[in-house]
Chain A
Amino acid sequence: MLHIKCPHCGMRSQNEFSYGGDATVKRPELNKEISDQDWDNFVYNRKSLRGKHLELWQHLSGCRQWIKVERDTATHEIFRTMKANEDIS
């Protein structure tokens, strides 16, 4: 079971968290003509990466905040965690 550092609460077990999917997906801009292909990609298509991956988690049984976690999908190593509104870089 993973040990994730919530930026608000500190180190917590994985079973307090809920996985929220890829954190790098950007919603297509509003007020613009968007192709079906772009919508399709945004809603459904995800890369199944092997290696470093930025993802969203929610601290469901804790502070209930959404956070970003940079994790290696092969080794489960967690490189860093940040608040969901913090920038990626």
Chain B
Amino acid sequence: MSQSYRLENIGLINRDKKISFKFNGVTYYGYEGDTLASALIANGVHLIGRSFKYHRPRGFFGAGVDEPYAIVQLYRNGETEPNIKATEQELFEGLEATSVNCWPNVNFDIGAINNFFKIFLHAGFYYKTFMWPKSFWYKVYEPFIRKAAGFGVASTKHDNERYEHKYEYCDLLIAGSGPSGLASAYAAAKNGARVILAEDKARFGGSLLTSEVSIGNQSGKEWADGIIAELKEMPNVTVKNRSQVFGYYDHNMLVMSERISDHLPKTKKFHPKQKLWYIRAKEVLISAGSIERPIVFGNNDTPGVMLSSAAKEYLKVYGVLVGRNPLIFTNNDSGYEAAIEFKKNGVDPIILDTRKDPQSEIVDEAKNLGINIKFSYVVVAAQGYKKVKSADIASISDDKEHLGTIENIKCDCICVSGFWTPTIHLASQSGNKTKFNEDIDAFVPGTSKQNETTLGAANGSYTLGETLKNSFDSYSSFF
């Protein structure tokens, strides 16, 4: 199989190192720096699993930790691990993965028959209805229902990997290495504070990797690389990638899991597979960014429907096209960023914007590039079963209550953008009383209970300049 959706001259992957891997028994190729998801999309694979109950086809929806669908069973070094997100698993030589919750295979799944009986198997269906005749329960119904339950299969073998624990203390723990995380880390570290900078993904930079921005005379990525290189030199700073801060406990105790060997074919000798950090921080900065919201329409679980930010990330970071005929459905400006990226790489997208007459620079830029934009239009439903084939679209009235006539247009992916939701989970865990921000229609952190601060997109601030300035100012006098 060739990587027919891979672009030539874009992306941060290492094209000198080709990697072979297996998905559902078929051998594919990707590059070093890919995730399992990006490598599969590069090979044109979008059907990755089946939904839990009705066994509807499932594709990729996000590009990172926010992925809800792409769950696979992973085989590594003679061991198996269930419930791995394909969007988080980095590619390594000899990786094997299979789809879950489908039989005999993901393409032809007997369980999909449930989809036709969904009128009888509605939500909240009471499985004890299968009561009669009495002897059938133990022999037929229960084994069958138990077999249908759950996704992956847990390993029955003893886990030979090593897992470490570590206690650590610091003046400032920063969760997330986006613009605000980097700026704050730099400002605080220059003052001599002990700083731990944690990034969930393999690459530092967060939104700087995918946005067309320049800081000074550098691109966002160059700036991020420069800061990271400088931080790594400082003795008072610990910089960790593949490390997710996932728990905020009493008295500023945070827990972070570092995936040390999950991206390697085999754990190195005397190395652990993962490390759990217990960090007692004097202060915590949550710069976890935000996650794009989907928009609801018919069949929006069809493979090929995904977040526009994810489409942009696959394009900018991995050099992968999620489709050659994309439809972008947005209600805000950020959908246009994905459209412009598509256009720049020789793909003609169609933008459907729910707004009537938006005025902004990026909309003008899209118009100037000659992108087909339909204002006051919505997607009514996606058509296609195992992959989006077309979309039913219609114009929408100004009061958003009446639809015009429904047309059908061809497309092979629908990128949705319903604005952004700040990642406030850590702030909520710390006991922060969140408040609702009408401007962005989302909850943002409010009154802190412990020593934590939230900055950047996680605080509902979506402009880079403001974020950088706030972050530098907040921590330039720290310590």
Judged by a CB distance under 8 angstroms, whether A76 is at the interface is yes
CB-nearest residue of chain A to B250: A76
* Per-residue A-contact encoding for B219-262, CB less than 8 Å = 1, 0 else: 00000000000000000000000000000011111000000000
Number of A-B contacts (CB under 8 A): 19
Judged by a CB distance under 8 angstroms, whether B55 is at the interface is no
Considering only residues 1-23 of chain A, those with a C-beta below 8 Å from chain B are 1-3, 13
* Cα of A1 to Cα of B251 in the assembled complex, Å: 7
Q: How many residues of A contact B (CB 8 A)?
A: 7
* Cα of A75 to Cα of B252 in the assembled complex, Å: 13
Considering only residues 34-89 of chain A, those with a C-beta below 8 Å from chain B are 75-76, 78
Chain A neighbourhood of B6, CB < 8 A: none
* Cα of A75 to Cα of B251 in the assembled complex, Å: 10
* Cα of A2 to Cα of B280 in the assembled complex, Å: 10
Interface centre among B251, B252, B253, B278 (most CB of A within 10 A): B251
Q: How many residues of B contact A (CB 8 A)?
A: 9
Contact A13 B280 (CB under 8 A): yes
Q: What is the minimal beta-carbon distance from B185 to any residue of chain A, in angstroms? A: 24
CB-nearest residue of chain A to B252: A3
Q: What is the minimal beta-carbon distance from B412 to any residue of chain A, in angstroms? A: 50
* Cα of A75 to Cα of B450 in the assembled complex, Å: 11
CB-nearest residue of chain B to A78: B251
Q: What is the minimal beta-carbon distance from A24 to any residue of chain B, in angstroms? A: 23
CB-nearest residue of chain A to B167: A13
| Cross-interface CB contact of A3 among B167, B280, B449, cutoff 8 Å | B280
Chain B neighbourhood of A78, CB < 8 A: 251
* Per-residue A-contact encoding for B435-448, CB less than 8 Å = 1, 0 else: 00000000000000
CB-nearest residue of chain B to A3: B251
* Cα of A11 to Cα of B344 in the assembled complex, Å: 57
Chain A neighbourhood of B249, CB < 8 A: 1
| Cross-interface CB contact of A2 among B167, B250, B278, B449, cutoff 8 Å | B250
Chain A neighbourhood of B251, CB < 8 A: 1-3, 76, 78
* Per-residue A-contact encoding for B372-402, CB less than 8 Å = 1, 0 else: 0000000000000000000000000000000
* Cα of A83 to Cα of B284 in the assembled complex, Å: 31
* Cα of A1 to Cα of B249 in the assembled complex, Å: 6
Interface centre among B250, B253, B280, B449 (most CB of A within 10 A): B250
Chain A neighbourhood of B250, CB < 8 A: 1-3, 76
Q: What is the minimal beta-carbon distance from A55 to any residue of chain B, in angstroms? A: 15
CB-nearest residue of chain A to B249: A1
Q: What is the minimal beta-carbon distance from A62 to any residue of chain B, in angstroms? A: 14
* Cα of A57 to Cα of B11 in the assembled complex, Å: 56
* Cα of A78 to Cα of B250 in the assembled complex, Å: 11
Q: What is the minimal beta-carbon distance from B432 to any residue of chain A, in angstroms? A: 13
Chain A neighbourhood of B167, CB < 8 A: 13
* Cα of A76 to Cα of B248 in the assembled complex, Å: 14
CB-nearest residue of chain B to A13: B280
Chain B neighbourhood of A13, CB < 8 A: 167, 253, 280
* Per-residue A-contact encoding for B405-422, CB less than 8 Å = 1, 0 else: 000000000000000000
* Cα of A29 to Cα of B7 in the assembled complex, Å: 86
Q: What is the minimal beta-carbon distance from B117 to any residue of chain A, in angstroms? A: 50
* Cα of A78 to Cα of B251 in the assembled complex, Å: 9
Chain B neighbourhood of A76, CB < 8 A: 250-251
* Cα of A76 to Cα of B251 in the assembled complex, Å: 8
Chain A neighbourhood of B449, CB < 8 A: 75
* Cα of A75 to Cα of B249 in the assembled complex, Å: 12
Q: What is the minimal beta-carbon distance from A17 to any residue of chain B, in angstroms? A: 13
Chain A neighbourhood of B278, CB < 8 A: 1
Q: What is the minimal beta-carbon distance from B275 to any residue of chain A, in angstroms? A: 18
* Cα of A3 to Cα of B167 in the assembled complex, Å: 13
* Cα of A88 to Cα of B426 in the assembled complex, Å: 37
CB-nearest residue of chain B to A1: B253
* Cα of A76 to Cα of B250 in the assembled complex, Å: 7
With A1-B250, A3-B253, A76-B251 already in contact, 6 other A-B pairs whose C-beta atoms are closer than 8 Å: A1-B251, A1-B253, A2-B251, A3-B251, A13-B253, A76-B250
19 contacts between A and B (CB under 8 A): A1-B249, A1-B250, A1-B251, A1-B253, A1-B278, A2-B250, A2-B251, A3-B250, A3-B251, A3-B252, A3-B253, A3-B280, A13-B167, A13-B253, A13-B280, A75-B449, A76-B250, A76-B251, A78-B251
A residues neighboring B (CB under 8 Å): 1-3, 13, 75-76, 78
Give 9 nearest A-B pairs by CB, closest first: A3-B251, A1-B253, A76-B250, A2-B251, A1-B249, A2-B250, A1-B250, A3-B280, A1-B251
